[in-house]
Amino acid sequence: MSESRFFEAADGADIRCTLCPHQCRITPGGRGACGVRENRNGVLALPYYGYITAIARDPIEKKPFRRFRPGSSILSLGFAGCNLHCPFCQNWRISQIVNGKAAPGRFLSPKEAAALAVDDRQIAYTYSEPLIHAEYLIDCMKQAHERGIANVLVTNGCISEQAAAEILPLTDAANIDLKCFSEETYAKVLGGNLPAVLNFIRMAHSLGVHVEITTLVIPGLNDSDEELDKCAAFIADLAPKAKLRGVSAKAETPWHLSAYHPDYRWNAPPTDPAFLIRAAERARKNLRYVYTGNIGSGRY
């Protein structure tokens, strides 16, 4: 079984996982919050290294990307587990590990994964949270680059700076969730860490990764003008701005505003498509590329 290097000894036989902001203290035989990293005899074991819950060939727009290789197909690999516990998770059937068991899947070596992506020339690590499988991710990404295959992340971005510094130089494009702009909501509702996510996004930009941002807009949770404006302002500050036909300068990092539908443990009403379109129009005052999703065709 594979072992992780992202851990340190704690008191007694406990260990502390250092992969993400949770810094989980794991007792012997126990697992961290993500459900995929286990204390076995004082080392951090990876029982789900290479365990793939979904394999598909998708249009890249589905990830979603609109400014990275538009019109292309991409091999998508899905994983088990997540280090967040969003009660509205749209992929909860594979993101949740229940009673120590993951969704049905199969093991795939990094070489096998890269070989499957040869025709598409790009591979997406997606569906559930790939970063909690950092060791497998790094191995796959190296294999992919050796074959001239682009690496694409679809992620919540909630990871330590140490791990990000190893993964991002191997990443060609990333769609990163900015789920809201409230530290309290991230901590109490999502089980995440907003500063870590913002840092991951900034790091990706600084390293030249093609970045697109996605926000699932949920009525009553993150849909106020104030909160969406804060998200837009952060995105606008990431990248150089371009003048458009004499109009004021606009930032070029794409932002996807995605409509929510009730799922898993959250029962807010679905996002009103008209509201989402108005929110996108408001954001376009400062952002060049804003798209709507889950309401039919996206808008430019």
Q: What is the side-by-side strand order in the sheet with 290-293?
A: 54-59, 73-78, 122-126, 150-155, 173-177, 210-217, 255-259, 290-293
Write down the pTM of the prediction: 0.94
DSSP string over 171-195: -SEEEEE---S-HHHIIIIIS--HH
Lowest mean pLDDT among 94-98, 181-185, 261-265: 94-98
How far is residue 131 from each of residues 109, 159, 176, measured CA to CA in Å? 17, 7, 11
Q: What is residue 96's predicted lDDT score, i.e. its pLDDT?
A: 83
The Cα–Cα gap between 285 and 258 comes to 18
Q: What is residue 36's predicted lDDT score, i.e. its pLDDT?
A: 96
Lowest mean pLDDT among 114-128, 214-228, 239-253, 286-300: 239-253
Q: Average the pLDDT over 215-234 and give the result.
A: 97
Q: Give the sign of the dihedral formed by CA 242, CA 244, CA 246, CA 251.
A: negative
Q: What is the side-by-side strand order in the sheet with 7-9?
A: 7-9, 15-17, 25-26
Whether the pLDDT of residue 12 is over 70: the answer is yes
Q: What is residue 243's predicted lDDT score, i.e. its pLDDT?
A: 60
